[in-house]
Structure formats: structure tokens, C-alpha cells
Amino acid sequence: MKKKWTHIKTDQTQVEHLHEQLKVDRMVSQLLVQRGITTFEQAKKFFRPTLDELHDPFLMKDMDKAVSRLVEAINNNERILLYGDYDVDGTTCVSMMFTFLSRIGKLDNIDYYIPNRYREGYGISLKGISYAAETDTSLMIAMDCGIQARNQIDKANTLGIDTIICDHHLPGEQLPKAKAVLDPKRKDCDYPYKELSGCGVTFKLVQAVAAELGYSEEVWLDLLDLLVISIGCDIVQMTGENRILAHYGLQQINQGNARIGIRSLIEKSGKEYPVTISDLVFGAGPMINAAGRLDDAKEAVRLLLSDNESEANVMAESLKSKNVNRREQDRSITKEACEIIDAWEDLDDRKTIVLGQSHWHKGVVGISASKLVEKYHRPTIILTKNNDLWVGSARSVPGFDIHSAISACKEYLNNFGGHQFAAGLSLESSNLENFRKAFEKQVANTITEEELTPEIMVSGELDFKGITPRFWKILRQFAPFGPGNHKPVFTTRNVKDTGDSRIVKDEHLKLRVSQDDGKVIGGIGFWMADAYEDISNGTFDLCYTIQPNTWRGKTALDLQVRDIK
């Protein structure tokens, strides 16, 4: 599939000004200006973030109410139920709040509840409310969910259960009637940073309670290893507070001060220290998620709360095994889906993919949908059967609001929810074909050709001679990377194959290339084996990111190729 290379517009006057101030490579100045950093002081804060830059948690709407109710519950030794979603964000929320309250309250009055993905679905369930009532809960803290749970909160209120909501998803027109609703995306919330994860909102509540009760930052500082996993895996913006908190969370992990459960997950994932955000997203994160996808998410919470190394290793091994199973199912679904899609005679004319098989695993279809979007670059919905309903996950291409498109076809649906780039839905079998046609028509009428064309945002053009250890030493300080602070992408023109490039594992392209100055550099192009013949004939251009590659104790800088022209 042809990809569009778009060079990020950059004010070169600002680049030169910053270059003179910082005395660094012009490309480094260019990368900073692209991030809105144009002065020495801004650059200093970017490269040396401090916890002093975090916002006052009491700036968040309803924080005073939340703190007042939670402190009352702590002082009166009330029974508190921590309710979290079944993914990484939800389980880290629960683990963080449980750890914090255990330090300042009585452990025997704190409980947690994670809904079953298949029996209860996303968010606060009536079964969860019943559990709270049966266990004499007087205060429930809902984390990474709850902002749309008006009926469930009404039910809790009738049962005498107060609720604090810590969420980061978009609210509806009406808020639930909880004691406090913490969500920076509330229209009436003036909190300066809107992009916190669910665990980030929970952390601000922890910060506020600690301040109210007179505790120093030491009571919450070591909770940042949980928060950085949430920030990375929930794919929130890596800017502002998130970048500061992620920086310190990674620092804690890489200094060997992470909790036992996280250390066990990193060891079982095979990642080496120092770990990066990417290592957490593709290592520890999927193992945590595997608990809720294939079994019970409480297993992940138990691991994150464990203070016994041998016990943690056993649980981490169990999650590793579940994740291997999850990967196999994902691979199987994706392969089968590709075979079906490639056989469609009208594939080139379709703007969407809506596909379902009754035997596909519900906990994995969302991952497969994401992979199909990567391959076919169309809004995609992958479905499976759950009892008498088709249920599934939707994923979009950058720039296109798939939630809005699904909403336009809601007459055919039993239920749906989500946001601009991802959603979940369910529908009757009798409505499947009508929905597919309506969705295709809606997308065809609203999506643009630009949105249907994969786009790579390029930070700048480099010669190979500019890829030096000194340049890399500065470049890695731009981390942690994520949305809003993506790993820089570069292009190099007029590249030649040295003759040593080859196909590996039948799918990937292992490169050894050079430029006119004779410098040779290695690289890998995943799923790019088809380009092997093209690079053998003359010069070509590369689009890539830079990464270190350690082999037999020696580290070299390699290219992770994004595209070849």
C-alpha cells in the first residue's frame, strides 16, 4: 500500500534561534520546535521534567467532594470497594488505590471488584453493585469507568452506597449522580491537563487525599511504576503531566525500585533493562491484559499487589502463558480474516471492513481489528458470536470518527459505545447485513481520500553520517515516546543496498545499506519482504526511526524502516 510522506511544517527561523541558544545539532533544534519548544527554559523543562510541575489536584472539578467523602470513610473505618475496568488501565487503578489506602487505613475494610469481560461487559455492572450491597460497602470508588453509568449509580444510591467516579472518558449530556465525578473531560472542569489516563485521575485523587491528611509525596511516589504502565498501554497523550509522570515511573522501574509484580512481568516478557515505554506496551501490558481477555482480570491485580517474589513469579508465568495463548488466537483470527478479505472481488471499492466468524474469541477481536486496520487502512469492525448476538470491536484510521459513523447506524444495534478511534458494539444476527451496508454507506459518504491514505509524519531528512552516538544520546532524551511526542521519523535519500540485505523468516527485510559517503548501516523492515527485489536495482529512499541494536555485547544504531520508495 502506498504511503504518503508528510514533512512536519517547521519554522526555520525558530530552529535557528534555538540552535544558537542551545548549541546543539540543528536537527535536535528542529525536533524541539516541532514540539512547541522554542526557548532555552522550555527545552530545559522538556529534557529535565520535575514533579514540581504537576498541577494541584484540587483544580479538578469535584476533587474537594471526593476527598471529603473518602477521608470520612477512612476515619470511620467504612467498607470501601474499589471498582476497576478489566484492562491495564483499570487494573493499575485498583492496584494503586488499594496500595495507597492500605498504607493509611485498615486493610480488612478495603475490597476490590473487576467485572468479567464476557458476563458483565465494560463499565459498572449491576452485578458489581449487588456485590457492593452484599458486602456492606458504603463507599465505592469506580476507576477508569463510570462516567456513563447513570442507571447503575442510581441503583447504588437506592442501596445506600455512595460513589466516587475517577474516569477519563467523554461524559454524556448528563453526569451520574455520584458523590463526586472526577473527569478532566467534564465541560465544567477547569483542570489544566485533559489527557490523563484513568489511573492518572486516580493518582490525582491519591495526591489530594495525601495532601489533605498531611502526608508527604513519599506516600505516593513509588506508585508511579503502576501509572507509567497505564499511560503507555492506554495510549494517552505523552505530553504535559503524562510525560512527567511516565518519566519518573520509568526511572523508578529502571533503578530497580518497581514492585515485585512489575519486575516479574518484565522478566517473563524477556525485555532487558533499561526498559522503555515500548517495552511496557508490548511486554508487561499484554500480559496484564491477557488476564481479563481470557480469564479473570483479578489475577492481574493480585500480581500487582503481591509482596512475595516466588508467588509473583508463579502468577507472572501464568499470565505469560495466557498471553501466548492470546497471541496464537490473535494470529489465527488475523490470518483467517486476511484470507477472507483478500478473496473479496470488490475489495478495492469497499471503504470499510465488517467481518465476523462465530468461533473467533471475543477477547481478541479488538487486537485483530487493529492489525487489519494497519494492513488495509480502512475503518474495521471484527465480530464474533456471544450467545444469540454478534459482538465485536471497531477500530478506525487516523482522523476518522468511527464512533460517529456507528452511531449513524444505531437503529440496527442493540448496544454500542466508545470513542473516535475505537468502539464496541452488539447486534442481532438478522441485522448484521443491513448494518454492514449502512455502515459502508455512511463511511463512504463521510471519509476523505486523505484519511484512506496511510500517512507518515516525517521529522526531517538525515544523511547516514549524521546518525552518530552523540546524536542518539540526545535523541533518546526525547523519550518517553507516545501520542503527542512520537519517536522522530527521518528520511534518507539515494540509498544503496550493499548486497548483504536479505529476507528473514519469509516476511521481514533485513537491510545493509549505504549512502554516497560510504557509511554502512543496518536495519529491519517488518513485513516488507516484498520490497527485496526493488532495493536490488539502483538507489531508493528510506523512511525510518532510529533504534539501538545490541548483539554479542556490542551496540550499534540501526534503522527500523517504515517505508521504502
pLDDT of residue 106: 73
Tell me the C-alpha distance between 326 and 338, whole Å: 18
Predicted confidence (pLDDT) at residue 19 exceeds the cutoff of 70: yes
Q: What is the pLDDT of residue 421?
A: 80
R_g of the chain computed on alpha carbons: 25
Q: How many domains does the chain have?
A: 3
SS3 for 334? helix
Lowest average pLDDT, out of 152-161, 214-223, 276-285, 528-537, goes to 528-537
Strands 520-525 and 554-564: parallel
pTM of the model: 0.91
Q: What is the CATH number of the domain that holds 425?
A: 3.10.310.30
Domain containing residue 402: 344-446
> HSE-up of 74 (CA within 13 Å, CB side)?
20
Mean pLDDT over 118-128 rounds to 87
The CATH number of the domain holding residue 533 is 2.40.50.460
Are 79 and 145 contained in the same domain?
yes
What end-to-end distance do the CA atoms of the chain give, in Å? Answer: 11
Give yes or no: residues 442 and 554 share one domain.
Answer: no
* Same domain membership, residue 184 and residue 89: yes
Q: 3-state class of 236 per DSSP?
A: coil
Q: What is the pLDDT of residues 130-164, one digit of tens each?
A: 999 999 999 999 999 999 899 999 999 999 999 99
Q: What's the pLDDT at 517? A: 65
Same domain assignment for residues 179 and 63: yes
Distance of CA 417 to the CA centre of its chain: 18
Q: Give yes or no: residues 547 and 503 share one domain.
A: yes
3-class SS at 186? coil
Per-residue pLDDT tens over the stretch 512-527: 999 986 889 999 999 8
What pLDDT score does 293 carry?
82
Q: Per residue in 279-314, pLDDT tens?
A: 999 999 999 999 988 888 999 999 999 999 999 999
Q: Are residues 392 and 510 in the same domain?
A: no
Omega cis (within 30) before 483: no
Give the whole-angstrom CA distance, residue 106 versus residue 152.
28
What is the band of 418 on the pLDDT scale with cuts at 50, 70, 90? Answer: confident
For residue range 429-484, list pLDDT tens digits in order: 999 999 999 999 999 999 999 999 999 999 999 999 999 999 999 999 999 999 89
Is the distance from CB of 418 to CB of 403 less than 8 angstroms? Answer: yes
Instruction: Looking at the structure, tell me whether residues 373 and 504 fall in a common domain.
Output: no
